[in-house]
Copies of this chain bind each other. A is one copy, B any other.
């Protein structure tokens, strides 16, 4: 696989995957890059270029088999396997993610939650048991956990990330409103407000242009 795939291309892959799953669901068997570009609002040559980063998936002028392409991209995204995940911090966002059924569909299994709040510890949420934060280290030693989802307040996030890194999880999906930095494991920092502020930018621009 080409190691120099740009971040922009990588970030478009989940979007291709979503659209292909939807096309497959509604029974579309074959699609051209032009048709795919129209339904996704992307440029057809960009789609072909993106796919070429991975050796291309179709023949010129022939188009793509939707199911084959979906499976290829699924494998590239590492989604042809099961991930065991834990949630750290079971507040608003943690609880929402614990109950988010779509993750299970995509092969993610949340097996435990951890929180410093002793009134939560011992309870279950959507069949996920909540353990005290102090048990996390031992839990990670005894269980092969691939993924940790940080949903703690800002102040705790970096320390939790450091502990996860030492314990050897493979990846951190961070929802705390601060970027966490750790060496040696993969991290995705999610900032919900970034997309909200992109929206307000567009709203302000539309308002100034008077187009709406």
Query: A28 within 8 Å of B by Cβ?
Result: no
Q: Known contacts A17-B197, A202-B186, A204-B77: does B106 contact A100 (CB below 8 Å)?
A: no
The interface on chain A, measured as residues whose beta carbon lies within 8 A of the other chain's beta carbons, has a size of 62
Are B11 and A194 in contact, CB atoms less than 8 angstroms apart? yes
Residues in B whose Cβ lies below 8 Å from that of A146: 203
CB within 8 Å of B: which A97-135 residues? 97, 99-100, 102-103, 106, 108
Looking at the complex, which one of B106, B195, B201 makes contact with A173 (CB distance below 8 Å)? B195
A-B pairs with lowest CB-CB distance, top 5: A78-B204, A96-B96, A14-B197, A78-B200, A14-B194
Query: A166 within 8 Å of B by Cβ?
Result: no
Residues in B whose Cβ lies below 8 Å from that of A62: none
Looking at the complex, which one of B8, B17, B186 makes contact with A199 (CB distance below 8 Å)? B186
Query: A185 within 8 Å of B by Cβ?
Result: yes
Instruction: For the complex, give the distance between the alpha carbons of A102 and B92 in Å.
Output: 12
Residues in B whose Cβ lies below 8 Å from that of A173: 195-196, 199
Find the B residue at minimum CB distance from A149. Answer: B196
Residues in B whose Cβ lies below 8 Å from that of A198: 10-11, 13-14, 188
